[in-house]
Amino acid sequence: AAAAAAPLLMTSRLRQRAAECAKHVGATKPIDWFLRELPLSYEMVIENILDPAHLPFSHHGQDPALKRSAGKAMPMRPRKTPTAPSNAVPAAAASADAPATTVASSNQDSSRVQAPIPYYWPRPTGPDAEFDFKGNTNPDVTICFTAPYLVTYSWVVAETEVLTEMVVVPVAPGRCRYLSTDFVPAPGSKPRPPPPLHLLGLRGAAFRLLRRFDPVVSHHYFLNNIMDGDAVFMFGQDELLRAMQAQEDAEAAAGSSSSAGTSGAGSSSGSSSDATTTGGGDSPGMSKWSRLYFLPTQADRAWMAARRWLEERAGGGPFRRRQQQRQGEQKAAGAREGVGLPPTSQLKQQWPPIVLTPLSSPEVRARLLSRYEQHT
């Protein structure tokens, strides 16, 4: 009930364009929506779109800006809270709808002032995680995660504010819907100047030409290629992590049941053994997922912040309790039949058999890459 009553998360830019669209009924739509239902878990897709460093490598050639040669480290740093401009008005004098477009400066008390909120914020209090990083084509990009489903990238090109909005909605275990928006140029508007031809190449020039004549088709064509480029390895990673997490849950349940009748020293020994098996103990605020991932770079900070929110505020992710219940039933059935999952350490070593073999099936690949069934 609380979730249903919560306001819809929309950036200031999207609200503005939606209002413009409502005023001009029947005109060329200024907003184009892309939707694709993916056979991938919500957590896996959120992780993927919060990782900008993989784009030049996984999607080489899909856009003139996406080249392996341009790939580099993308360290992230937390973005500072916006400060109020010199011409800001006192909060008491702000209009009734000011909270939708302004944010109060954090260094004021009763006489707080109100400054315009960034165009990529969906609410006056800001996103749950916000980082700046240097992209491969722009030195100042901001990435935001607003729980539970909104991810935005924002930057400035030739004094024009650019915004990419992505929404990921879980619909079932191992399945989610991905939505993204694109602002269609108004008829007669001046197009943004393209990069030099020698930087575009033949494919890039053709894409820019398609973008100019039919922005909707180019938007959907580009995003479908991006989805296809990630789907296969994301599916394999999803399957492996699901198996490892199931075994982690089983080991944790077995450890808790056995430690109930042991002394404190025995319980401590069990914890040490678990840390050794999985590669180290948990950091404060983390759970077992942090032992299944290796996140050595600052480019992973956005995903770590999102995962921390899932663990601390969302019970580990959508459908987590249902999955644990189902895993318990499967474990009980396996125990009766004398079968079960191998230990976590063995699962980590069996990447090729577990992940690559199912993907060699034409049926699995067809299901993963079916634009006809997934794209609307």
Cα 78 from Cα 57, distance rounded (Å): 25
- State the average pLDDT over residues 156-175: 86
- pLDDT single digits (tens) 78-123: 987 654 444 443 333 333 333 344 444 444 443 444 567 888 999 8
State the pLDDT at residue 161: 82
Q: How big is the chain, counted in residues?
A: 376
Contact 240, 355 (CB under 8 A): yes
| Mean pLDDT, the chain, whole residue set | 70
The neighbouring-strand residues paired with 152 are 144, 165
Strand 76-78 and strand 113-116: the pairing is unpaired
Nearest to 52 by CA among 33, 66, 39: 66
- pLDDT single digits (tens) 269-296: 333 333 333 333 344 444 566 667 777 7
Cα 90 from Cα 94, distance rounded (Å): 7
Cα 201 from Cα 58, distance rounded (Å): 19
The model's confidence at residue 341, banded by pLDDT at 50, 70 and 90, is: very low
Percentage with pLDDT > 70 across the chain: 58
The neighbouring-strand residues paired with 34 are 180
SS3 for the chain, per residue?
CHHHHCCCCCCHHHHHHHHHHHHCCCCCCCEEEEEEEECCCHHHHHHHHCCHHHHHHHCCCCCCCCCHHHCCCCCEEECCCCCCCCCCEEHHHCCCCHHHCEEECCCCCCCCEEEECCCCCCCCCCCCEEEEECCCCCCCEEEEEECCCEEEEEEEECCEEEEEEEEEEEEECCEEEEEEEEECCCCCCCCCCCCCHHHHHHHHHHHHHHHHHCHHHHHHHHHHHHHHHHHHHHHHHHHHHHHHHHHHHHHHHHHHHHHCCCCHHHHHHHHHHHHHHHCCCCCCCCCCHHHHCCCCCHHHHHHHHHHHHHHHHCCCCCCHHHHHHHHHHHHHHHHHHCCCCCCHHHHHHCHHHHHHHHHCCHHHHHHHCCHHHHEC
Higher pLDDT residue, 337 or 319?
A: 319
- Indicate whether this model's pTM tops 0.75: no
The model's confidence at residue 8, banded by pLDDT at 50, 70 and 90, is: confident
Higher pLDDT residue, 343 or 164?
A: 164
- pLDDT single digits (tens) 182-193: 766 555 556 565
| Range of weakest confidence among 22-26, 116-120, 161-165, 166-170 | 22-26
